[in-house]
Amino acid sequence: MNSKCPLYINGQFIETAQKQNIINPSTGKVIVEASLASLKELELALSAARKAFDHGPWPQFSLTERQEFIFRIAQGILDNAGLLAALETQNTGKPIKETTFMDIPSSAKTFEFMANNFIDYLGQEEVNVSSDTKAKLIREPLGVVVLIVPWNYPLLIACWKLASAIAAGNTVILKPSSLTPLTALELAKIIDQAGLPAGVVNVVNASGAKIGELLCADKRVDMISFTGSNETGKQILQYSSKNVKKMIMELGGKSASLIFNDVDLEVAVNSSLASIFLNQGQMCTAMSRIFVQEAIYDNFLSSFAEKASAIKLGLADSFETQMGPLISDAQRKKVIAYIEKAKAEGARIVGGGKIPENAELKNGYFFEPTVLVDVGAHSRIFKEEVFGPVVLIHKFSGLDEAAILANSVDFGLAACVWSKDLFLAQELAGRINAGTVWINTYGMFYNQLPYGGFKQSGFGKELGREGFLEYTRIKNVILDQSAEGKPLVNYWYGF
């Protein structure tokens, strides 16, 4: 790969004096040095995005012109799919099979979908208020949008946000996680080759602790779309309160999968493995609480634990690897601390729970898929997001208890219901306080459908028409057509 990883600001690639080592989680070795933004580069990005929106051509382009640019980005992602998949695997530790067949194609499809649909989403609506009064409801871009992207799906979530933001006519500052900036910086090259005007998209790799407040509080920013932890989300809300702006917050979850007696056991077990151990459990929607109805609980647990122990850990760049490393040593220590606390509170480990002894993996941040039982609803691991390959399995009796268990945490991002009784499943889905409920499947994200959570999982949507419209503002233009051009207000004072 290119040894230079510059920032992208105002249509220019900028190397900075300050650099950051980017680590391969599979090996613990440095991949490359990436440029880090200082306050100087942050100011350049803010000024460029503001100028490009207020005085540049992007908001004035016709919708079909804008559409063509977005199609070019989609094609650019596909043209560079192999490079992007390799970078994502090296930088995040997720298996190459996942990046090749899931993350990169899905990123391209997000831009393609938005290009095909955003013009229809922007259609004006006319309202006949009365015989004398008509109104037009017009969707406009918000202005400068800051997109803050997490380390678990660096390219895909960037594309979710970016496709909608620029299709709506906004200008953007994209801030990837400083742990995983490589695919975002490569995406900047694709955007540059697509010919977008200078300043429309700016990619700034920086320490959130150093520049977060300045970026989020700045009055030149009209909107912030953030995906990440609750702790950081709360800080961003505080920063942004200094100057009022639109917000999208996707803040994680503690999702529940509810498995009823009538399921095909093998399908439920295999699907449940994917629902927690994909991407090493580092997913906001990870089904980290699996509740199984009493009659099949023992068989489910036995099969699940056996198959979890057979998941092949390995270096992420091997197509034989089924589960790679965690993102960092710090994240692995966090996972271990949660497990030790759970054991102290009465939980039992029935599978995994250790750093693997395989010599090939010793320098990476690997951890075995871990299955816990006897986890009380009072314990921290029942309530808090671990963000690792750790699942608790618990039994339930019937529909009412299932609903109570699913809703017994502060998060409300997603849930799964597994049952052949579709009436029961849909009734339960209606009682679950979560933004997405999958019935007899898991993790299927469709560009046509909105995604986002409730409660402490945040607010606002990504994807679909609803997600796109989050990046617009609505203007109400009222036209009075009273007789002789004299509206009622003309007579108010009687002159």
pLDDT at 137 (0 to 100): 96
Which one of 3.40.309.10, 3.30.465.10, 3.40.50.300, 3.20.20.70 gives the CATH number of domain 256-439?
3.40.309.10
Q: Which residue matches tokens 């908001």? A: 59
pLDDT digits (tens, 9 = 90+) for 416-471: 999 999 999 999 999 999 999 999 999 999 999 999 999 999 999 999 999 999 99
Question: What's the average model confidence in pLDDT over 161-178?
Answer: 98
Which one of 1.20.1730.10, 3.40.605.10, 3.40.50.11540, 3.30.200.20 gives the CATH number of domain 7-251+457-477?
3.40.605.10
Residue with the larger pLDDT of the pair 207 and 272: 272
CA-nearest of 398, 396, 346, 397 to 372 is 346
Band (pLDDT 50/70/90 cuts) for residue 484 is: confident
pLDDT at 458 (0 to 100): 98
Q: What is the DSSP string of 445-461?
A: --TTS-B--EETTEE--
Q: Are 289 and 255 in contact (CB under 8 A)?
A: yes
Residue 17: CB atoms within 10 Å:
8
pLDDT at 311 (0 to 100): 98
Q: What is the DSSP letter of 37?
A: -
Band (pLDDT 50/70/90 cuts) for residue 491 is: confident
pLDDT digits (tens, 9 = 90+) for 226-250: 999 999 999 999 999 999 999 999 9
Q: What is the 3-state secondary structure (H, E, C) of 320-382?
A: CCCECCCCCHHHHHHHHHHHHHHHHCCCEEEECCCCCCCHHHCCCCCCCCEEEECCCCCCHHH
Question: What's the average model confidence in pLDDT over 177-200?
Answer: 98
Residue 153: CB atoms within 10 Å:
27
Residue 4: CB atoms within 10 Å:
12
CA-nearest of 196, 156, 195 to 177 is 156
Q: Are 435 and 414 in contact (CB under 8 A)?
A: yes
pLDDT digits (tens, 9 = 90+) for 361-415: 999 999 999 999 999 999 999 999 999 999 999 999 999 999 999 999 999 999 9
Rg (CA), the chain: 24
Question: What's the average model confidence in pLDDT over 39-50?
Answer: 97
Q: Which of 5, 159, 216, 284 is catalytic?
A: 284
Residue 15: CB atoms within 10 Å:
10
Angle at 352 between CA 347 and CA 358, to 5 degrees: 150
Q: Which residue matches tokens 């977008």? A: 196
37 contact partners, CB below 8 Å, separation of at least 6? 7, 16, 45, 204, 205, 206, 211
Q: What is the DSSP letter of 196?
A: P
Q: Is 250 among the catalytic positions?
A: yes
Find the largest Cα–Cα distance for the chain: 93
Question: What's the average model confidence in pLDDT over 305-313?
Answer: 98
Tell me the percentage of the chain whose pLDDT exceeds 70.
99
Question: What's the average model confidence in pLDDT over 312-341?
Answer: 98
pLDDT digits (tens, 9 = 90+) for 130-143: 999 999 999 999 99
Q: Is 340 among the catalytic positions?
A: no
Q: Which residue matches tokens 């497990």? A: 339
pLDDT at 209 (0 to 100): 83
Cα separation, 11 vs 168, in Å, equals 20
Question: What's the average model confidence in pLDDT over 145-161?
Answer: 98
Cα separation, 135 vs 139, in Å, equals 13
Backbone angles phi, psi at 77, to 5 degrees: -65, -45
Q: CA 299, 300, 302, 305: dihedral to nearest 10 degrees?
A: 170
pLDDT at 3 (0 to 100): 65
Tell me the percentage of the chain whose pLDDT exceeds 90.
95
Angle at 176 between CA 76 and CA 163, to 5 degrees: 45
Residue 139: CB atoms within 10 Å:
19
Asked whether residue 2 carries a pLDDT value surpassing 60, the answer given is no
Q: What is the DSSP string of 63-107?
A: HHHHHHHHHHHHHHHHHTHHHHHHHHHHHH---HHHIIIIIHHHH
Annotated domain spans of the chain: 7-251+457-477, 256-439
Q: Which of 41, 112, 250, 368 is catalytic?
A: 250
* 212 three-state secondary structure: helix
Average pLDDT, the chain: 97
